[in-house]
Structure 1
Amino acid sequence: MSSDNSEKGGKSNKNRGGKKRNLSMICLTFLCAYTSFNAVANLQSSINIDKNVGLYSLAILSGGSILSSILFTTPLIYILGYKWTIVAGQIGILIYIAANMYPKAILLYPVAAISGIFCSAMWTTQSAYITVLGVDENRHDNSDIQVNKYFGIFYSVFETAQIWGNLITYFILRNVHRESRSDFSQCGANFVSNTSETKNDESTISPMTTHILYSVFVGIICISIVFVIIFLDQKRKLKGDDSKGVIHRSIDYSLLTLKQFKKLDHWLLIPIVFWINSWEAFIFGIYTKSFITCTIGVQYIGIVMASYGITASIVCIIVGYVAKIKYSRPVCLLSATSVSIMILMIMLLWKPVPSQTYMLYVLACIAGITAVVAKPLVSALYSHLFADTKEMVFSIFSMIQNLGCIVVYFYSPVLIVRVSIILQIIYTSMAMICYITIEIRLSRK
């Protein structure tokens, strides 16, 4: 009897060790991949500005992710399993960053589409994998808390990618020369990409400098790929005897994914998820150019956005623990949306000038807080509402996330920033209303 108990205890400890290792590897994977990707994305609107190829490539990448969420994500996960789907996503990001060494539409757009397809699958896999790790078979009552905790840990590590990637950018680009300017009236809410008299900072960055920058980021991803291949355990829905008819099963599963839209909860969650990523796209694509680059120069994007990453990481750790407290989710999410509206109102009214550079950091820090609070809580909410169909719903989750990005990236080059800010206020308000509706529905169950 005692030997049986000791065997069970040994297996339990082994499982816990395996969970910690796998969670650590997923965190490391996304940290490395998005240390590189986020830093490059933050620069797209300021460096690759010829015909707005940078922003449009991000929009195409998001479009590829949407297509993948509908057609390819679930089949890829079924065929490759969780581990190799993550590897494929890393390779997709790697080739996109490498393509930026020759930032022409003929190369960057097709690569962005391919990258988007694999990135979507990688994010869906991440959400499903963490949900699997967080569910303790022996303690079903605590599974939601564990999932919340694991998502909190993941996002707290993930958000530090904004720190490391942007610091790398800053140290490599810090000596970039920028001509002085005296008129800042077209910065901030008055900024328009096609008409504002802004200095093309790309002309002052040598090809050697950009090649060094992108090579560093490619190297970081290569290291993470090696670690995943060696240390991450494979997990998949299909067992060995299910290999026959895998394509047929995958197609059926994709159709089931689309059928998930019949559920009202999905429609209520769409504005919330859309807001989260449209808000990030606004910060990365619009705020970086119209507020930071226009006011103090492209070389400072890295250091300002690093402050975004620092606050986001700290808050994510806090959210992971606060999530255990009753009613913490509505308090945190409603606070995040309210503060986001406040920041947007400040952006609408404030006229940025170099003498008030500190405000660029303050706004970035607060934006980091609001953006990161929602991510783990909404991911855990999906896990709670759709526990039996996690791959399908996280495909939808990924699709809506990318829809938020693609919309913002497509209209940002042609709209005055003032209009973009007003649209963002509308998105945030809709998210708040829908979330309140979801909580009311949950309280009645």
Structure 2
Amino acid sequence: MSTESPERATNSGSLDEFLGFREEVHVTMDNHTKELQKLSHGGCNDDQDAVTLLTNTVVADKAKHNPNSERNPDIEVTSNSLTVSSMTKNQIMKNLSMICTSFFLMFTSFHSMLSLLTSLSKEEGMGTFAIFIECSFFMISAMFLASFSIDRFGVKLTLFLSTFTTLSLMAANLYPVWAIMVPASIVCGLGAGPMWASQSAYVSELSKHYANITQTKLKDSLSFFFGIFFMSLNGSKITGNLLSSLLLKQNTQANTSMTLEEIEDCVANKQEAVSNATSLERPDDMTIYTICGTWIGIASLGIVVSAFLSPVTIYGDEYKDGKREAIYSKFLASTKHFWNSRLQKILIPLSMYYGISNGFLIADFTKSIVGCTLGIQTVGDVMLCSGILNTVSAVLVGPLTKHFGHLPFFTIAFLCFGGVQVSLLIWKPGPENGYPFFIFGSIWGVADAILKIQVMTIYGHLFADNIEAAYGSYFMLEAAGFITSTAYSVFLSTDVKLYILLSFLVCSAISYYTVEYIDRKQNKRQDVEQ
């Protein structure tokens, strides 16, 4: 008799093979022919009987090879075309709600901090350099530490422990000097890779359980679950920037009196003007202590929530069997995909552009454009509008894409980004009229949401057979773009950085339309052959 194995499909869209935390369960059919015949002919009264029957079958067979292992309820069994999951729908949605709540709380603080970091620590570009260091070590940890941590500690424990590193950079703002900011940025970056990898793996596994129970396509389940998660994450931008605005408005001693010439020099990112800008003066110590304490308190609450997540691996996060893959083998998978895929090479400008544009938004738009002109206390208000439009767009883009396709939305995103960047080159900002800042921030939020969702979707579509390595390449390129943007931020004027953004935008549009043409051509060829 043959042996069946629930092998992981390479086009499932999950990260488990890439991260190396999932194991296969082999069920010997010789010993269970009667049970499976009973199941296939309706011998079970309901779904719960079916779950119990196949779960016991798997556990009994597994126990023969691993008598010391403990049973974990999170088991998926595949026999021919039948797939069963013992995790109930309520359990799945409870854990999804908990991880969304956890990241919402943590990133309410983190987004609030990012909006103000370059302004609160503007001396010698300390805030911008801190972001550069954090992203650099994020790349390193994503390539090397993520798979290692999950393989050794499991998904849940890796997620829980890595979230503590986000507190380091928040606490460093209490006394922002180089000797504190640099180590804090390194710690935050080293924890970011394992945190995001374990988060993606956790949500991916929940979506698989959900697809098994509801008998829906895994692609639709992944889109649904990640859509909910990113809606929650984008919502933290709203609350984070609202928090920044409310806390900074307590600083009644803020001095925003600057001449028009001083404002123009500050907006242009002339370092002497930025250093002397009264609109970017650091608030008093009591306000800083209140801001940082609030950040740490809210983020700590999110970490506590993550501690109550249920494990989602087959025999629990604590169960490990077989040989662990070498750390470098995980990285080589992404490297091999990167160099062997023609479409991946074409998508390099588009993948890097998202990181470069976010680097400009965080390091330049908030400080040089909004902060210099309207004052640091207005940064939260502008970014609040951006976050609201970003969240609303993220909710609407998914359903609308089903009706109109990806091409129109990519075009809308390119036009929105280009329109704002050209306007910033032409327009001369002044404190007498603050409405354009809110308009530009809102349009940027719409374009940001559209581009992020569409890029993630097109990667999942084009590289379905090697999805883990493809997403690894994407995050590496996005981080490289962000690092590049923050690296030259201190040395170049604002208008030069806008020209660089526009150049990358044009290259990104060309790369996307090229890939779209190739993909449609291949689809037509396949239709003809069929």
- 1:49-88 alignment, distance < 5 Å: 49-88=122-161
Structure 1 residues without counterparts, runs of 5 or longer: none
**Aligned-partner Cα distance in 2 for 1:8–1:272:** 50
User: 1:171-194 deviations in whole A, cap 9, x for unaligned?
Assistant: 111143124123156439951241
Letter in 1 for 2:255: R
What is the CA distance between 1:387 and its match in structure 2?
Answer: 3.9
Q: Report 1 or 2 for greater relative contact order, CA contacts < 8 Å, sequence distance ≥ 6.
A: 1
User: 1:29-73 deviations in whole A, cap 9, x for unaligned?
Assistant: 222222111111111221101111111000000000111222222
Counterpart secondary structure, 2:491: coil
Q: 1:179 to 1:19 in 2, by over 3 A?
A: same
Structure 2 equivalent of residue 152 of structure 1:
227
Q: 1:88 to 1:269 in 2, by over 3 A?
A: farther
**Aligned-partner Cα distance in 2 for 1:233–1:131:** 13
- 1:217-256 alignment, distance < 5 Å: 217-235=295-313, 242-243=320-321, 245-246=323-324, 248-256=325-333
**Higher alpha-carbon deviation: 55-64 or 176-185:** 176-185
- Normalising by structure 1, what TM-score? 0.91
**Aligned-partner Cα distance in 1 for 2:178–2:282:** 21
**Higher alpha-carbon deviation: 176-185 or 213-222:** 176-185
Match of 2:362 among 278, 284, 287: 284
**Is the aligned partner of 1:397 residue 2:474?**
yes
Structure 1 equivalent of residue 410 of structure 2:
333
**Aligned-partner Cα distance in 2 for 1:273–1:121:** 21
The answer to whether the 8 A contact 1:130-1:150 is kept is: yes
Structure 2 equivalent of residue 142 of structure 1:
217
**Aligned-partner Cα distance in 2 for 1:76–1:151:** 23
**Aligned-partner Cα distance in 2 for 1:269–1:77:** 29
Counterpart secondary structure, 1:205: coil
Structure 2 equivalent of residue 26 of structure 1:
99
**Aligned-partner Cα distance in 1 for 2:150–2:352:** 24
The answer to whether the 8 A contact 2:390-2:445 is kept is: yes
Letter in 2 for 1:311: L
Q: 1:138 to 1:75 in 2, by over 3 A?
A: same
Runs of 4+ displaced beyond 6 Å: 8-13, 138-141, 236-241
Structure 1 equivalent of residue 348 of structure 2:
270
Structure 2 equivalent of residue 170 of structure 1:
245
Give the structure with higher Rg (CA): 2
Aligned length: 443
Structure 2 residues without counterparts, runs of 5 or longer: 1-41, 52-83, 524-530
**Higher alpha-carbon deviation: 176-185 or 282-291:** 176-185
Structure 2 equivalent of residue 7 of structure 1:
48
Q: 1:384 to 1:277 in 2, by over 3 A?
A: same
Q: Percent identity?
A: 23
The answer to whether the 8 A contact 2:166-2:188 is kept is: yes
Letter in 2 for 1:259: K
Structure 2 equivalent of residue 102 of structure 1:
175
The answer to whether the 8 A contact 1:29-1:228 is kept is: yes
**Aligned-partner Cα distance in 1 for 2:131–2:385:** 23
Letter in 1 for 2:153: L
**Aligned-partner Cα distance in 2 for 1:431–1:222:** 38
**Aligned-partner Cα distance in 2 for 1:74–1:378:** 24
**Is the aligned partner of 1:207 residue 2:285?**
yes
**Aligned-partner Cα distance in 1 for 2:186–2:483:** 12
The structure with more helix, counted as a fraction of residues: 1
**Aligned-partner Cα distance in 1 for 2:179–2:103:** 28
What is the CA distance between 1:19 and its match in structure 2?
Answer: 2.9
User: 1:184-210 deviations in whole A, cap 9, x for unaligned?
Assistant: 564399512413365245645112211
**Aligned-partner Cα distance in 2 for 1:387–1:132:** 17
Q: 1:370 to 1:271 in 2, by over 3 A?
A: same
What is the CA distance between 1:283 and its match in structure 2?
Answer: 1.2
Match of 2:449 among 361, 369, 372: 372
**Is the aligned partner of 1:311 residue 2:389?**
yes
The answer to whether the 8 A contact 2:202-2:312 is kept is: no
The answer to whether the 8 A contact 2:138-2:189 is kept is: yes
Counterpart secondary structure, 1:355: coil
Letter in 1 for 2:385: S
User: 1:354-385 deviations in whole A, cap 9, x for unaligned?
Assistant: 22201100000000000111222322333333
**Aligned-partner Cα distance in 1 for 2:265–2:442:** 17
